[in-house]
Each structure stands twice: as structure tokens, then as C-alpha cells.
Amino acid sequence: MSPRYAHITGWGMAVPEKRLTNEDLEKMVDTSDEWIVSRTGIRERRIASADQSTATLAAEAAMRALGVANLHPADLDLIIVSTSSPEHIFPATACLVQDQIGAVKAGAFDLLAACTGFIFALNLAANMIKTDGISNALVIGSETLSRIVNWKDRNTCILFGDGAGAFVLQASDEPGGIYTGVMRSDGSGGDLLSLPGGGSKYPTCLQSVYDGLHYIHMNGREVFRFATRVMTDATQEAVAAANLTMDDIQLIIPHQANRRIIEAAARGLDFPMDKVMINVDRYGNTSTASIPIATCEAIEQGRLKAGDWTVFVGFGAGLTWGATLARWSGPFPVRRKLKPRRYRWLARLRSILARLRRHLEGLIWGRGKTA
Ligand code: COA
């Protein structure tokens, strides 16, 4: 049997309209534009409106990615949503997205590896295409971190933003797409970046809310030191695993947490900064969404073209870190252009009918009766 490859054939992003600038933050906490820019490179971030959520942003990014790939949602076999700010603990945000876009054949689940989540999800989906025989996968990174940030804590609230990005992965016998993946974890550093409340250790109660356990807690300096070390190692490992060297790489798309971390990693790799994608200045740290959002903008700016070798590399809570090496291919050639956006209405109708059917079955068989 000839080897199968997992190509990235679609990409899309969705960010809220509302911008929160450093000047806005100066009015909320004791900080300054100068401090934030010099320490992080961030100038503004996007904040979800009341009617936006992790699932709605994810579905929006997904529809754009399906549009680029020219793929019908019903042809998806798999949806992975990587997020640290899910719609609920359960059901999985991926299932809500599956319903919203009408991906009737897809298995859907969430993956939690914090800011490294998109890398882990990408590697997982690619391997399922290569070895498990699935054909089409949707990988989404989506966050509404503004909902879990303590807006009174200047150590964290200046860093994060909301947004979503998505890739469509498709199987092909043609070489290209995702080649190697590195996935690592070190739970001994779990306390350095955490959201302690709302789980089984500290279930939500008045006391947990009073103690602020439902917010992000972070040891910034320790996370900084960890990040600069692992970004370099993971990139080198992913590149070496494909028998390539850094000279073969046209673009690195790193997790957008902090400009200084990215610059330190590039220095460690002896890699020129003009071949590293940065947009942290405009979105802040959007966690799992940052790599696909940066990818969409790199393509828009003509910095990533078919045939280019690129490395996606990230780090985050867990601690987790990882990298993915891909040869960029772009959408498969198509005969007829689909309009996946139209299928959203159909999906909504299908969802209403499914709820109605369940309601009617309840009336007929009796609600609450199991036999
Ligand atoms: N405005 C002004 N001062 C601030 C501030 C803010 N928003 N946030 C913290 N400070 C203060 C602190 O209170 C502290 O003051 P102190 O020394 O009197 O106690 C001081 O600034 C901290 O300075 P320092 O530790 O030198 O800052 P830094 O250069 O390490 O930068 C971070 C802080 C958070 C920007 C940096 O450590 C970082 O980016 N870490 C990684 C965080 C990250 O990426 N997390 C997400 C991972 S996915």
C-alpha cells in the first residue's frame, strides 16, 4: 500500500471585532503601554462580545477553512477542537461545532493541552489520516480567554485575547503536508500556569469563586524561562526527524505569547527573524488559536507558498510543548466550487429537526421513562 499524506488544504480565522488596546488597559489596572510593549510586544487584543463564544468563533473559522478547502461539512470524518476555555466542561465544544456546521459524519471531541493544543491536535489528526484511513479532518483552536482572565490582575490580563483558527487536513497519495510531530509534557510544572477551579479538586462554590480559583494563575518568569528553552528544542527535533536542517525551513510560525520569547527562540536556533511569523502585537496571546491565526495572516501576506517547509511550534500550561513540520501544499484542485457557508442554514434546520424529533419521542414514549 502506498503511503498516505495529510495535506493542509484549508485555513480560516475568526476574531471578534472589539479591540482592547494597552491604553484601555491603563484605565483598568496599574500598567502602561510602554511596559506592556517592551515586555511582551502586545499592543492590542480582541475581546468576544456577549453573543460570541468559543463554539461560535470556532464554527466561523471552520466554515472559512472549509470554504478554502472546498469541502462539504458532511464529508468531514473528524473534528478536534483544541481549547482551554471550552463552552462547557461537557458537552465538548467540538460537538457543538459539529452541530452548527452540519458535519453529520464526523466524530468530534475536545483536546486540552493549553497553548500547545493546536500542535497536539494537528499531529493527532495527521496520524489518523496516515494510519487510520480517515480522509478529511478539521482541526480548530478556539479561545475566549477574556472570560477566564482576572481583569484586576495586571500580571495576566494584559497578555491574553480571544479568537479562533482552523485547518482542514485531507488525505492524498501525493507527498506533502504534515511530516513530523513532536509532543512533550512535564506535569511537574503544572502549577506555573493553571486555572485551578471548576474541576474535581476545587469544584465551583462560593469559596472557590471568592478565592479567584476560576481565573488564570501564572508565574510569568518561570513560564518565560521554560518557553525559551523548549521552543528551540522542539523545532530542532521536528526538523531533524525529517532529515532536514534549519536552512531548509522557509517560515517558522510560533505560538504568539510574547515577542521576546519568540526572539529568544530564533536566536537559539540561529534563525533569521524575517523568516518568523509574528502578529502578537495585534491579537495578544490567543492560546490554541494563535498558530492558525498567524498562519492565515502569513498566507494573506504571501509569506507561505506551496512547496515551502514550515514549522509550527508552541508551548503552554501542563507544562506542554511541541512542534509540527509541514510542507505547505494548499487546496486540492477542484472542478466545482462549493459554498460551504450555505450549508450552515441546512445544519441549523437539521439541528432543530433533531431536537423536535427527540421532543416528540419524549411525548410518545413518556419523558423520563427508560423502559
Ligand atoms: N504593568 C506594569 N508592571 C507589571 C505588570 C504590568 N502589566 N505586570 C507585572 N508587573 C510588575 C510586577 O508586579 C513585578 O514587579 P516587582 O518586581 O515590583 O514585583 C514586575 O513588573 C515583573 O517584572 P519582571 O518579572 O521583570 O517582568 P518580566 O520581564 O518577566 O515580564 C511577563 C513579565 C509576564 C511579561 C513575562 O514574564 C512573560 O511573558 N512570561 C511568560 C508568560 C506567558 O507567555 N504565558 C502564557 C504562556 S502560553
Report the nearest-CA residue for atom 19 of ligand 1.
155
* 195 in any annotated domain: yes
Q: pLDDT for 54-67, tens place per residue?
A: 999 999 999 999 99
In a domain, 360, yes or no: no
pLDDT score for 74: 95
Count structural domains, the chain: 1
The domain of 84 spans 5-327
Region 229-256: mean pLDDT is: 97
Ligand 1 probe mutation, 155, 278, 321, most atoms within 8 A of CB: 155
Tens digit of each residue's pLDDT (9 = 90 or more) over 167-219? 999 999 999 999 999 999 999 999 999 999 999 999 999 999 999 999 999 99
Of 95, 115, 157, 296, the catalytic one is 115
List pLDDT tens digits, range 293-326: 999 999 999 999 999 999 999 999 999 999 999 9
Residue 337 lies in a domain: no
Q: Is residue 48 part of a domain?
A: yes
Protein residues whose CB sits closer than 6 Å to any atom of ligand 1: 31, 35-36, 39-40, 115, 154-155, 158-159, 193, 218, 220-221, 223-224, 257-258, 285, 316
pLDDT of 101 higher than 80: yes
Residue 247 pLDDT > 60, yes or no?
yes
- pLDDT surpassing 80 at residue 370: no
Find out whether 284 and 45 touch, Cβ atoms under 8 Å.
Answer: yes
CATH number, position 149:
3.40.47.10
Q: Does any domain span residue 265?
A: yes
> What distance in angstroms lies between residue 52's CA and the mean position of ligand 1's atoms?
29
- Long-range own/partner contacts, residues 268-275 (CB < 8 A, 24 or more apart): 268/228, 268/231, 268/232, 269/232, 269/235, 269/236, 270/246, 271/246, 275/249, 275/250, 275/251
Please provide residue 64's backbone torsions phi and psi, each rounded to the nearest 5 degrees: -65, -45
Kindly compute the dihedral angle of the four CA atoms of residues 244, 311, 227, 61, in this order, to the nearest 10 degrees: -170
285 is catalytic: yes
Sign, CA torsion 349/350/353/355: negative
Summarised one tens digit per residue, pLDDT across range 255-274 is 999 999 999 999 999 999 99
Determine, yes or no, domain membership for 363: no
The pLDDT assigned to 337 comes to: 84
Between CA 178 and CA 288 the distance in angstroms is 18
Q: Which of 7, 279, 285, 296 is catalytic?
A: 285
Is 338 among the domain residues?
Answer: no
Q: Is 255 a catalytic residue?
A: yes
CA of 220 to the centre of ligand 1 (A): 6
Please report the atom of ligand 1 found closest to the CA of residue 114.
48
Query: What pLDDT, on a 0 to 100 scale, did the predictor assign at position 1?
Result: 67
Decide if 350 is inside a domain: no
Closest CA to 253 of 182, 162, 165, 314: 314
pLDDT > 90? residue 365: no
- Could you identify the atom of ligand 1 that is nearest to the CA of residue 29? 7
Ligand 1 pocket test, pick from 31, 218, 224 with the greatest ligand atom count within 8 Å of Cβ, gives 224
